[in-house]
Structure 1
Amino acid sequence: MEIREPESAEAERIRAVVDSSMTTSFRLSPGRIDGITDGQFDDDAVTEKIDDEDTVLYVAESGENIEGETITGFVEGRLEDEWGEVNWLFVDPEHRGQGIGTALYDAATETLRDRGVDHVCVTVLEANTEGHDFVERFGLEHDGDLRIEVAGESLVKYVYTDSDVDVDLPTESRETDSAAGENAEPATFPETERTDGHLTATAGDETVYVDRGEEESGTAAPFFGTYEDEAHTEQYGYYCANCGSLDVSMDNMERLECSECGNSHAERSEESYDRSHL
Protein backbone atom coordinates (compact mmCIF):
# COMPACT_ATOMS: atom_id res chain seq x y z
CA MET A 1 0.00 0.00 0.00
CA GLU A 2 1.24 3.47 -0.93
CA ILE A 3 -0.12 6.78 0.39
CA ARG A 4 0.42 9.59 -2.09
CA GLU A 5 -1.14 12.73 -3.55
CA PRO A 6 -3.68 12.12 -6.34
CA GLU A 7 -3.57 13.24 -9.95
CA SER A 8 -6.41 14.90 -11.84
CA ALA A 9 -6.68 11.93 -14.20
CA GLU A 10 -7.65 9.75 -11.21
CA ALA A 11 -10.83 11.70 -10.40
CA GLU A 12 -13.11 9.01 -11.85
CA ARG A 13 -11.60 6.29 -9.64
CA ILE A 14 -11.74 8.57 -6.58
CA ARG A 15 -15.41 9.17 -7.23
CA ALA A 16 -16.01 5.41 -7.56
CA VAL A 17 -14.38 4.83 -4.15
CA VAL A 18 -16.48 7.59 -2.60
CA ASP A 19 -19.68 6.24 -4.11
CA SER A 20 -19.10 2.62 -3.05
CA SER A 21 -18.07 3.68 0.46
CA MET A 22 -21.11 5.91 0.95
CA THR A 23 -23.48 3.32 -0.48
CA THR A 24 -22.18 0.78 2.04
CA SER A 25 -21.87 2.93 5.16
CA PHE A 26 -24.17 5.97 4.92
CA ARG A 27 -27.85 6.20 5.82
CA LEU A 28 -28.58 8.26 2.71
CA SER A 29 -30.75 7.61 -0.34
CA PRO A 30 -29.05 6.96 -3.70
CA GLY A 31 -30.22 10.37 -4.86
CA ARG A 32 -28.51 12.12 -1.97
CA ILE A 33 -25.32 10.12 -2.47
CA ASP A 34 -25.31 11.07 -6.16
CA GLY A 35 -25.80 14.70 -5.17
CA ILE A 36 -22.75 14.61 -2.90
CA THR A 37 -20.53 12.80 -5.40
CA ASP A 38 -21.66 15.07 -8.24
CA GLY A 39 -21.06 18.20 -6.22
CA GLN A 40 -17.86 17.27 -4.39
CA PHE A 41 -16.07 14.60 -6.40
CA ASP A 42 -16.68 15.04 -10.12
CA ASP A 43 -13.68 15.63 -12.39
CA ASP A 44 -13.76 19.43 -12.09
CA ALA A 45 -14.23 19.41 -8.31
CA VAL A 46 -11.32 17.02 -7.73
CA THR A 47 -9.05 19.00 -10.07
CA GLU A 48 -9.95 22.22 -8.27
CA LYS A 49 -9.13 20.66 -4.91
CA ILE A 50 -5.79 19.37 -6.18
CA ASP A 51 -4.90 22.91 -7.31
CA ASP A 52 -6.05 24.52 -4.04
CA GLU A 53 -3.09 25.17 -1.75
CA ASP A 54 -5.33 25.10 1.34
CA THR A 55 -6.62 21.59 0.58
CA VAL A 56 -4.75 18.40 1.51
CA LEU A 57 -5.52 15.29 -0.54
CA TYR A 58 -4.14 11.77 -0.35
CA VAL A 59 -5.08 8.47 -1.93
CA ALA A 60 -4.18 4.95 -0.89
CA GLU A 61 -2.93 2.82 -3.75
CA SER A 62 -2.91 -0.95 -3.55
CA GLY A 63 -1.27 -3.46 -5.83
CA GLU A 64 -3.79 -6.21 -5.06
CA ASN A 65 -5.94 -5.66 -8.14
CA ILE A 66 -5.23 -8.34 -10.73
CA GLU A 67 -5.24 -5.70 -13.46
CA GLY A 68 -2.64 -3.59 -11.68
CA GLU A 69 -2.57 -1.00 -8.96
CA THR A 70 -5.80 0.68 -7.95
CA ILE A 71 -6.91 3.47 -5.61
CA THR A 72 -8.53 1.96 -2.53
CA GLY A 73 -8.99 5.00 -0.28
CA PHE A 74 -9.17 8.78 -0.27
CA VAL A 75 -8.86 11.52 2.35
CA GLU A 76 -9.40 15.27 2.14
CA GLY A 77 -8.21 17.85 4.64
CA ARG A 78 -8.62 21.59 4.76
CA LEU A 79 -6.78 24.48 6.42
CA GLU A 80 -9.16 26.87 8.20
CA ASP A 81 -7.19 29.61 9.97
CA GLU A 82 -5.55 27.98 13.03
CA TRP A 83 -7.53 24.80 12.42
CA GLY A 84 -6.84 21.84 10.21
CA GLU A 85 -9.93 19.81 9.35
CA VAL A 86 -10.15 16.26 8.02
CA ASN A 87 -13.50 16.56 6.28
CA TRP A 88 -13.76 13.47 4.05
CA LEU A 89 -12.25 9.99 4.41
CA PHE A 90 -13.35 6.98 2.38
CA VAL A 91 -12.10 3.41 2.00
CA ASP A 92 -13.37 1.01 -0.65
CA PRO A 93 -15.52 -1.60 1.16
CA GLU A 94 -13.63 -4.43 -0.55
CA HIS A 95 -10.34 -3.24 0.97
CA ARG A 96 -11.36 -2.46 4.53
CA GLY A 97 -9.64 -4.04 7.50
CA GLN A 98 -6.14 -3.44 6.13
CA GLY A 99 -5.33 -0.21 7.97
CA ILE A 100 -5.98 1.99 4.95
CA GLY A 101 -8.24 4.42 6.81
CA THR A 102 -5.73 4.84 9.63
CA ALA A 103 -2.86 5.41 7.20
CA LEU A 104 -4.85 8.06 5.33
CA TYR A 105 -5.89 9.75 8.57
CA ASP A 106 -2.30 9.83 9.82
CA ALA A 107 -1.02 11.25 6.53
CA ALA A 108 -3.63 14.02 6.42
CA THR A 109 -3.29 15.09 10.06
CA GLU A 110 0.52 15.05 9.91
CA THR A 111 0.50 17.25 6.81
CA LEU A 112 -1.97 19.68 8.35
CA ARG A 113 0.20 20.01 11.46
CA ASP A 114 3.32 20.41 9.33
CA ARG A 115 1.61 23.36 7.65
CA GLY A 116 1.38 25.11 10.98
CA VAL A 117 -2.18 24.59 12.25
CA ASP A 118 -2.67 24.75 16.00
CA HIS A 119 -5.48 22.20 16.19
CA VAL A 120 -6.89 19.40 14.05
CA CYS A 121 -10.53 18.36 14.02
CA VAL A 122 -12.41 15.69 12.11
CA THR A 123 -15.92 16.17 10.74
CA VAL A 124 -18.16 13.18 10.06
CA LEU A 125 -21.59 13.24 8.45
CA GLU A 126 -24.21 12.23 10.97
CA ALA A 127 -25.48 9.66 8.44
CA ASN A 128 -22.10 7.89 8.36
CA THR A 129 -22.84 4.75 10.38
CA GLU A 130 -19.22 3.65 10.76
CA GLY A 131 -17.24 6.90 10.70
CA HIS A 132 -18.03 7.97 14.25
CA ASP A 133 -16.59 4.82 15.83
CA PHE A 134 -13.52 5.13 13.60
CA VAL A 135 -12.78 8.69 14.73
CA GLU A 136 -13.31 7.91 18.41
CA ARG A 137 -10.55 5.30 18.21
CA PHE A 138 -8.08 8.19 18.02
CA GLY A 139 -9.29 9.60 21.33
CA LEU A 140 -11.34 12.39 19.73
CA GLU A 141 -14.64 13.50 21.23
CA HIS A 142 -17.85 14.92 19.72
CA ASP A 143 -17.55 18.65 20.38
CA GLY A 144 -20.31 20.25 18.30
CA ASP A 145 -22.23 20.17 15.04
CA LEU A 146 -22.02 21.97 11.72
CA ARG A 147 -24.73 22.21 9.09
CA ILE A 148 -23.28 22.31 5.59
CA GLU A 149 -24.76 22.74 2.14
CA VAL A 150 -23.63 20.13 -0.39
CA ALA A 151 -25.15 20.10 -3.89
CA GLY A 152 -28.25 21.84 -2.59
CA GLU A 153 -28.62 19.40 0.31
CA SER A 154 -28.55 20.53 3.93
CA LEU A 155 -26.53 18.01 5.93
CA VAL A 156 -25.24 17.79 9.50
CA LYS A 157 -21.65 16.98 10.38
CA TYR A 158 -20.41 16.02 13.84
CA VAL A 159 -17.17 17.76 14.81
CA TYR A 160 -14.60 15.71 16.73
CA THR A 161 -11.65 17.27 18.58
CA ASP A 162 -9.17 16.43 21.30
CA SER A 163 -10.85 16.54 24.70
CA ASP A 164 -8.56 19.30 26.00
CA VAL A 165 -9.23 21.75 23.14
CA ASP A 166 -11.07 24.86 24.35
CA VAL A 167 -11.23 27.21 21.35
CA ASP A 168 -13.91 28.07 18.81
CA LEU A 169 -14.45 25.45 16.14
CA PRO A 170 -13.77 26.30 12.48
CA THR A 171 -16.88 27.69 10.78
CA GLU A 172 -15.57 29.54 7.75
CA SER A 173 -17.42 29.00 4.45
CA ARG A 174 -20.25 26.97 5.93
CA GLU A 175 -23.62 27.49 7.53
CA THR A 176 -23.43 26.72 11.23
CA ASP A 177 -26.41 25.64 13.30
CA SER A 178 -24.48 24.79 16.42
CA ALA A 179 -20.78 24.94 17.11
CA ALA A 180 -21.25 24.89 20.85
CA GLY A 181 -20.75 22.18 23.39
CA GLU A 182 -22.26 18.77 23.92
CA ASN A 183 -25.39 20.02 25.68
CA ALA A 184 -26.20 22.88 23.32
CA GLU A 185 -29.60 22.97 21.64
CA PRO A 186 -29.40 23.65 17.87
CA ALA A 187 -31.30 26.82 17.04
CA THR A 188 -32.95 25.24 14.01
CA PHE A 189 -34.26 22.28 16.04
CA PRO A 190 -36.73 23.73 18.58
CA GLU A 191 -37.87 21.65 21.54
CA THR A 192 -34.87 19.31 21.31
CA GLU A 193 -31.90 18.51 23.52
CA ARG A 194 -28.75 16.41 23.58
CA THR A 195 -28.94 12.94 25.07
CA ASP A 196 -25.58 11.15 25.08
CA GLY A 197 -24.58 13.01 21.94
CA HIS A 198 -27.86 12.34 20.10
CA LEU A 199 -30.49 14.90 19.13
CA THR A 200 -33.70 13.95 20.96
CA ALA A 201 -37.23 15.21 21.46
CA THR A 202 -39.82 14.26 24.05
CA ALA A 203 -43.26 12.82 23.40
CA GLY A 204 -44.98 12.65 26.79
CA ASP A 205 -42.74 10.44 28.89
CA GLU A 206 -40.98 8.95 25.86
CA THR A 207 -37.69 10.12 24.39
CA VAL A 208 -37.37 9.82 20.62
CA TYR A 209 -34.27 10.24 18.47
CA VAL A 210 -34.27 12.71 15.57
CA ASP A 211 -32.48 11.50 12.43
CA ARG A 212 -31.13 14.62 10.75
CA GLY A 213 -29.99 12.53 7.79
CA GLU A 214 -33.62 11.70 6.98
CA GLU A 215 -35.01 15.04 5.90
CA GLU A 216 -38.25 15.86 4.06
CA SER A 217 -38.92 19.37 2.77
CA GLY A 218 -41.77 21.40 4.27
CA THR A 219 -43.54 24.63 3.44
CA ALA A 220 -42.19 26.33 6.58
CA ALA A 221 -39.26 24.09 7.63
CA PRO A 222 -38.09 20.50 7.03
CA PHE A 223 -39.48 17.35 8.62
CA PHE A 224 -37.11 14.75 10.06
CA GLY A 225 -37.66 11.07 10.78
CA THR A 226 -37.76 10.07 14.44
CA TYR A 227 -36.92 6.74 16.05
CA GLU A 228 -37.48 4.98 19.33
CA ASP A 229 -33.84 3.88 19.57
CA GLU A 230 -30.38 5.39 19.14
CA ALA A 231 -29.59 3.10 16.21
CA HIS A 232 -32.57 4.46 14.23
CA THR A 233 -34.09 1.04 13.55
CA GLU A 234 -37.59 1.43 15.07
CA GLN A 235 -39.33 4.40 13.49
CA TYR A 236 -41.55 6.52 15.70
CA GLY A 237 -42.79 9.15 13.25
CA TYR A 238 -41.68 12.63 12.19
CA TYR A 239 -40.44 15.81 13.81
CA CYS A 240 -41.40 19.30 12.58
CA ALA A 241 -38.40 21.63 12.57
CA ASN A 242 -40.65 24.68 12.35
CA CYS A 243 -42.23 24.35 15.78
CA GLY A 244 -40.62 21.27 17.36
CA SER A 245 -43.78 19.19 17.40
CA LEU A 246 -43.88 15.41 17.04
CA ASP A 247 -47.57 15.52 16.21
CA VAL A 248 -47.01 15.01 12.49
CA SER A 249 -49.46 12.98 10.45
CA MET A 250 -49.28 11.33 7.05
CA ASP A 251 -52.39 10.89 4.91
CA ASN A 252 -53.04 8.16 2.35
CA MET A 253 -51.37 10.31 -0.32
CA GLU A 254 -48.15 10.29 1.71
CA ARG A 255 -48.41 13.98 2.59
CA LEU A 256 -46.92 15.09 5.92
CA GLU A 257 -48.58 17.79 8.01
CA CYS A 258 -47.85 19.20 11.45
CA SER A 259 -51.02 19.59 13.52
CA GLU A 260 -49.41 22.29 15.67
CA CYS A 261 -48.24 24.83 13.09
CA GLY A 262 -49.63 23.62 9.77
CA ASN A 263 -46.23 22.99 8.20
CA SER A 264 -46.85 20.55 5.35
CA HIS A 265 -45.08 18.54 2.73
CA ALA A 266 -46.29 17.37 -0.67
CA GLU A 267 -46.32 13.75 -1.82
CA ARG A 268 -42.88 12.23 -1.47
CA SER A 269 -41.00 10.57 -4.26
CA GLU A 270 -40.81 6.79 -4.34
CA GLU A 271 -37.05 7.01 -3.79
CA SER A 272 -37.24 9.10 -0.61
CA TYR A 273 -39.86 6.78 0.83
CA ASP A 274 -37.83 3.62 0.30
CA ARG A 275 -36.61 2.70 3.78
CA SER A 276 -34.16 0.16 2.35
CA HIS A 277 -31.76 3.09 1.86
CA LEU A 278 -31.49 3.70 5.62
Structure 2
Amino acid sequence: MEIRTAAPADSPAIRDVARRSLQASYSLGPGAITDAISEWYGEDTVGETLADPDRVVLAAERDGQVVGFAESERSADGETATILWLHVDPAYRGESIATALFERTRDRLEESGVERVAGRVLEDNDDGNDFYEAQGFERVGQEEVEVAGRTRVENIYAEGSDGGLQSIRAADGATVYVDENDWDEGSAGKFYAVYADEDATDHYGYFCANCNRLANAMDAMGRIECDNCGNARKATRWDAAYL
Protein backbone atom coordinates (compact mmCIF):
# COMPACT_ATOMS: atom_id res chain seq x y z
CA MET A 1 0.00 0.00 0.00
CA GLU A 2 1.19 3.50 -0.82
CA ILE A 3 0.22 6.68 1.06
CA ARG A 4 0.72 9.71 -1.17
CA THR A 5 -0.51 13.24 -1.78
CA ALA A 6 -3.86 13.18 -3.55
CA ALA A 7 -3.94 14.54 -7.11
CA PRO A 8 -6.76 16.06 -9.20
CA ALA A 9 -6.99 12.80 -11.15
CA ASP A 10 -8.05 11.11 -7.89
CA SER A 11 -11.27 13.16 -7.67
CA PRO A 12 -13.65 10.43 -8.96
CA ALA A 13 -12.07 7.84 -6.65
CA ILE A 14 -12.25 10.22 -3.67
CA ARG A 15 -15.97 10.77 -4.27
CA ASP A 16 -16.55 7.03 -4.62
CA VAL A 17 -14.68 6.19 -1.40
CA ALA A 18 -16.47 8.98 0.49
CA ARG A 19 -19.87 7.77 -0.71
CA ARG A 20 -19.30 4.16 0.35
CA SER A 21 -17.75 5.27 3.63
CA LEU A 22 -20.71 7.52 4.50
CA GLN A 23 -23.17 4.77 3.61
CA ALA A 24 -21.40 2.33 5.95
CA SER A 25 -20.72 4.68 8.86
CA TYR A 26 -23.69 7.03 9.16
CA SER A 27 -27.46 6.78 9.42
CA LEU A 28 -27.98 8.98 6.38
CA GLY A 29 -30.58 8.34 3.69
CA PRO A 30 -29.55 7.98 0.02
CA GLY A 31 -30.69 11.53 -0.76
CA ALA A 32 -28.74 13.02 2.14
CA ILE A 33 -25.59 11.16 1.09
CA THR A 34 -25.97 12.33 -2.50
CA ASP A 35 -26.37 15.93 -1.31
CA ALA A 36 -23.38 15.66 1.01
CA ILE A 37 -21.14 14.19 -1.70
CA SER A 38 -22.20 16.91 -4.11
CA GLU A 39 -21.48 19.64 -1.56
CA TRP A 40 -18.17 18.33 -0.19
CA TYR A 41 -16.68 16.36 -3.07
CA GLY A 42 -18.00 17.91 -6.27
CA GLU A 43 -15.44 18.28 -9.07
CA ASP A 44 -14.84 21.97 -8.40
CA THR A 45 -14.80 21.54 -4.63
CA VAL A 46 -12.20 18.76 -4.70
CA GLY A 47 -10.08 20.79 -7.09
CA GLU A 48 -10.17 23.82 -4.78
CA THR A 49 -9.36 21.66 -1.76
CA LEU A 50 -6.33 20.06 -3.42
CA ALA A 51 -5.06 23.48 -4.54
CA ASP A 52 -5.44 25.05 -1.08
CA PRO A 53 -1.98 25.38 0.53
CA ASP A 54 -3.53 25.04 4.00
CA ARG A 55 -5.15 21.69 3.18
CA VAL A 56 -3.38 18.34 3.27
CA VAL A 57 -5.14 15.51 1.43
CA LEU A 58 -3.45 12.11 1.41
CA ALA A 59 -4.66 9.08 -0.54
CA ALA A 60 -4.12 5.42 0.30
CA GLU A 61 -3.57 3.42 -2.87
CA ARG A 62 -3.53 -0.35 -3.24
CA ASP A 63 -2.87 -2.06 -6.56
CA GLY A 64 -3.45 1.21 -8.39
CA GLN A 65 -6.80 1.87 -6.67
CA VAL A 66 -7.55 4.60 -4.13
CA VAL A 67 -9.07 2.83 -1.10
CA GLY A 68 -9.01 5.64 1.44
CA PHE A 69 -8.09 9.27 2.02
CA ALA A 70 -7.58 11.78 4.82
CA GLU A 71 -8.27 15.52 4.61
CA SER A 72 -6.84 17.99 7.12
CA GLU A 73 -6.61 21.76 7.40
CA ARG A 74 -3.90 23.93 8.95
CA SER A 75 -4.85 27.05 10.90
CA ALA A 76 -4.01 30.48 9.47
CA ASP A 77 -0.87 30.71 11.62
CA GLY A 78 0.21 27.18 10.71
CA GLU A 79 0.63 26.18 14.36
CA THR A 80 -2.42 23.90 14.68
CA ALA A 81 -4.34 21.62 12.32
CA THR A 82 -7.54 19.60 12.28
CA ILE A 83 -8.17 16.27 10.56
CA LEU A 84 -11.55 16.95 8.99
CA TRP A 85 -12.27 13.60 7.32
CA LEU A 86 -10.70 10.16 7.27
CA HIS A 87 -12.53 7.79 4.90
CA VAL A 88 -11.70 4.16 4.10
CA ASP A 89 -13.61 2.03 1.60
CA PRO A 90 -15.65 -0.45 3.72
CA ALA A 91 -14.29 -3.33 1.61
CA TYR A 92 -10.79 -2.53 2.90
CA ARG A 93 -11.49 -1.79 6.55
CA GLY A 94 -9.73 -3.86 9.18
CA GLU A 95 -6.41 -3.64 7.31
CA SER A 96 -4.95 -0.68 9.30
CA ILE A 97 -5.42 1.69 6.37
CA ALA A 98 -7.04 4.33 8.59
CA THR A 99 -4.16 4.11 11.04
CA ALA A 100 -1.60 4.46 8.24
CA LEU A 101 -3.42 7.52 6.86
CA PHE A 102 -3.68 9.04 10.32
CA GLU A 103 -0.01 8.53 11.15
CA ARG A 104 1.23 9.81 7.78
CA THR A 105 -1.08 12.83 8.03
CA ARG A 106 0.20 13.69 11.49
CA ASP A 107 3.81 13.28 10.32
CA ARG A 108 3.19 15.52 7.31
CA LEU A 109 1.55 18.20 9.45
CA GLU A 110 4.32 18.14 12.04
CA GLU A 111 6.95 18.39 9.28
CA SER A 112 5.23 21.58 8.12
CA GLY A 113 5.49 23.15 11.59
CA VAL A 114 2.13 22.18 13.09
CA GLU A 115 2.42 21.72 16.84
CA ARG A 116 -1.06 20.47 17.80
CA VAL A 117 -3.37 18.18 15.84
CA ALA A 118 -7.08 17.71 16.48
CA GLY A 119 -9.65 15.48 14.80
CA ARG A 120 -13.36 15.80 14.09
CA VAL A 121 -15.93 13.03 13.69
CA LEU A 122 -19.72 13.01 13.80
CA GLU A 123 -21.13 11.84 17.12
CA ASP A 124 -23.13 8.98 15.59
CA ASN A 125 -20.08 7.40 13.94
CA ASP A 126 -19.19 4.89 16.66
CA ASP A 127 -16.23 3.43 14.76
CA GLY A 128 -14.81 6.89 14.07
CA ASN A 129 -15.04 7.93 17.71
CA ASP A 130 -13.48 4.64 18.85
CA PHE A 131 -10.68 5.15 16.32
CA TYR A 132 -9.58 8.49 17.77
CA GLU A 133 -9.70 7.12 21.29
CA ALA A 134 -7.52 4.20 20.15
CA GLN A 135 -4.96 6.74 18.89
CA GLY A 136 -4.68 8.20 22.40
CA PHE A 137 -6.92 11.19 21.66
CA GLU A 138 -9.63 12.38 24.04
CA ARG A 139 -12.86 14.24 23.33
CA VAL A 140 -12.37 17.89 24.20
CA GLY A 141 -15.39 19.57 22.62
CA GLN A 142 -18.48 19.37 20.45
CA GLU A 143 -19.94 21.52 17.70
CA GLU A 144 -23.15 21.51 15.70
CA VAL A 145 -22.66 21.13 11.95
CA GLU A 146 -25.02 21.13 9.00
CA VAL A 147 -25.05 17.87 7.02
CA ALA A 148 -27.39 17.72 4.03
CA GLY A 149 -29.75 20.28 5.59
CA ARG A 150 -29.84 18.59 8.99
CA THR A 151 -28.06 19.71 12.16
CA ARG A 152 -25.78 17.07 13.65
CA VAL A 153 -23.26 17.00 16.50
CA GLU A 154 -19.57 16.66 15.70
CA ASN A 155 -17.10 15.51 18.37
CA ILE A 156 -13.68 17.16 18.55
CA TYR A 157 -10.67 15.14 19.68
CA ALA A 158 -7.15 16.10 20.70
CA GLU A 159 -4.17 14.20 22.01
CA GLY A 160 -4.51 13.26 25.66
CA SER A 161 -2.32 14.94 28.22
CA ASP A 162 1.04 13.36 29.03
CA GLY A 163 1.15 15.18 32.36
CA GLY A 164 3.34 18.06 31.17
CA LEU A 165 3.00 21.42 29.46
CA GLN A 166 2.59 21.55 25.68
CA SER A 167 4.39 24.42 23.95
CA ILE A 168 2.73 26.39 21.14
CA ARG A 169 3.41 29.74 19.49
CA ALA A 170 1.05 32.66 20.06
CA ALA A 171 0.03 35.14 17.37
CA ASP A 172 2.78 37.53 18.47
CA GLY A 173 5.39 34.82 17.93
CA ALA A 174 5.99 34.13 21.61
CA THR A 175 6.22 30.53 22.84
CA VAL A 176 3.54 29.79 25.42
CA TYR A 177 2.65 26.62 27.32
CA VAL A 178 -0.71 24.82 27.50
CA ASP A 179 -1.39 22.98 30.76
CA GLU A 180 -3.70 20.11 29.82
CA ASN A 181 -4.19 19.24 33.49
CA ASP A 182 -5.70 22.67 34.27
CA TRP A 183 -8.95 23.31 32.45
CA ASP A 184 -12.45 24.77 32.69
CA GLU A 185 -15.51 23.40 30.91
CA GLY A 186 -16.95 25.71 28.23
CA SER A 187 -20.25 25.58 26.38
CA ALA A 188 -18.71 23.64 23.48
CA GLY A 189 -15.37 22.38 24.79
CA LYS A 190 -12.63 22.76 27.36
CA PHE A 191 -10.55 25.87 28.03
CA TYR A 192 -6.99 24.95 29.05
CA ALA A 193 -4.85 27.35 31.06
CA VAL A 194 -1.91 28.82 29.12
CA TYR A 195 1.30 30.13 30.70
CA ALA A 196 4.09 32.33 29.40
CA ASP A 197 6.77 30.23 31.11
CA GLU A 198 7.58 26.53 31.55
CA ASP A 199 7.25 26.84 35.33
CA ALA A 200 3.56 27.75 34.95
CA THR A 201 3.88 30.83 37.13
CA ASP A 202 3.06 33.56 34.58
CA HIS A 203 -0.52 33.10 33.39
CA TYR A 204 -0.91 34.02 29.71
CA GLY A 205 -4.51 33.16 28.84
CA TYR A 206 -6.54 30.16 27.67
CA PHE A 207 -6.55 27.62 24.86
CA CYS A 208 -9.91 26.70 23.32
CA ALA A 209 -9.99 22.95 22.67
CA ASN A 210 -13.15 23.29 20.59
CA CYS A 211 -11.35 25.05 17.74
CA ASN A 212 -7.73 24.38 18.71
CA ARG A 213 -6.79 28.06 19.14
CA LEU A 214 -5.84 30.54 21.82
CA ALA A 215 -8.88 32.26 23.33
CA ASN A 216 -9.50 35.52 25.15
CA ALA A 217 -8.34 35.90 28.74
CA MET A 218 -10.87 35.58 31.55
CA ASP A 219 -12.61 38.85 32.43
CA ALA A 220 -13.15 40.21 35.95
CA MET A 221 -16.41 38.28 36.28
CA GLY A 222 -14.79 34.94 35.42
CA ARG A 223 -16.13 34.72 31.85
CA ILE A 224 -14.02 33.23 29.03
CA GLU A 225 -15.11 33.45 25.40
CA CYS A 226 -13.38 32.32 22.22
CA ASP A 227 -13.52 34.90 19.43
CA ASN A 228 -13.11 32.19 16.80
CA CYS A 229 -15.85 29.65 17.60
CA GLY A 230 -17.97 31.25 20.34
CA ASN A 231 -17.17 28.61 22.94
CA ALA A 232 -17.78 30.28 26.31
CA ARG A 233 -17.54 29.68 29.99
CA LYS A 234 -20.20 31.65 31.85
CA ALA A 235 -19.23 34.18 34.50
CA THR A 236 -18.66 32.79 37.98
CA ARG A 237 -19.17 36.09 39.81
CA TRP A 238 -22.18 38.38 39.47
CA ASP A 239 -22.97 41.99 40.33
CA ALA A 240 -26.00 44.24 39.95
CA ALA A 241 -25.25 44.81 36.27
CA TYR A 242 -26.23 41.21 35.58
CA LEU A 243 -29.44 41.20 37.60
TM-score, length basis structure 2? 0.66
**Structure 1 equivalent of residue 35 of structure 2:** 35
2:104 pairs, out of 96, 104, 107, with 107
Write the distance in 2 (CA, Å) between the matches of 1:115 and 1:153. 35
For residue 130 of structure 1, give the secondary structure of its aligned residue in structure 2.
Answer: helix
**Structure 2 equivalent of residue 53 of structure 1:** 53
Give the residue type in structure 1 aligned to 2:37: T
Contact 1:125 1:156 in 2 (8 A): yes
Q: 1:48 to 1:104 in 2, by over 3 A?
A: same
For residue 27 of structure 2, give the secondary structure of its aligned residue in structure 1.
Answer: coil
Give the residue type in structure 1 aligned to 2:51: D
Give the residue type in structure 1 aligned to 2:71: E
Deviates more, 1:79-88 or 1:91-100: 79-88
Q: 1:88 to 1:179 in 2, by over 3 A?
A: farther
Contact 2:208 2:231 in 1 (8 A): no
Give the residue type in structure 2 aligned to 1:3: I
Write the distance in 1 (CA, Å) between the matches of 2:137 and 2:6. 27
Q: What aligned pairs does 1:155-194 form with structure 2 within 5 A after superposition? A: 155-164=152-161, 165=180, 166=192, 167-169=207-209, 170=211, 176=229
Task: Give the percent of matched residue pairs that are identical in Structure 1 and Structure 2.
Answer: 35
Q: 1:59 to 1:7 in 2, by over 3 A?
A: same
Q: 1:73 to 1:25 in 2, by over 3 A?
A: same
For residue 126 of structure 2, give the secondary structure of its aligned residue in structure 1.
Answer: coil
Q: 1:146 to 1:104 in 2, by over 3 A?
A: same
Offset from partner CA, 1:43-92 (integer Å, 9 cap, x none)? 111110110000000000001xxxxx210001001002432111100000
Contact 1:76 1:89 in 2 (8 A): yes
State yes or no: 1:71 paired with 2:111.
Answer: no
Total equivalences in the alignment? 173
Contact 1:35 1:151 in 2 (8 A): yes
**Structure 2 equivalent of residue 121 of structure 1:** 118
How far apart are 1:95 and its partner, in Å?
0.7
**Structure 1 equivalent of residue 169 of structure 2:** none
Q: Please, what is the CA RMSD of the aligned residues?
A: 2.1
**Structure 2 equivalent of residue 13 of structure 1:** 13
Q: Identify unmatched segments of 5+ residues in structure 1.
A: 64-68, 181-278
TM-score, length basis structure 1? 0.58
Write the distance in 2 (CA, Å) between the matches of 1:152 and 1:143. 26
Q: 1:22 to 1:136 in 2, by over 3 A?
A: same
Give the residue type in structure 2 aligned to 1:45: T
How far apart are 1:6 and its partner, in Å?
1.4
Write the distance in 1 (CA, Å) between the matches of 2:97 and 2:86. 10
**Structure 2 equivalent of residue 140 of structure 1:** 137
Give the residue type in structure 1 aligned to 2:62: S
Offset from partner CA, 1:139-185 (integer Å, 9 cap, x none)? 1111101223455443321001122243213279xx957577xxxxx
For residue 47 of structure 1, give the secondary structure of its aligned residue in structure 2.
Answer: helix
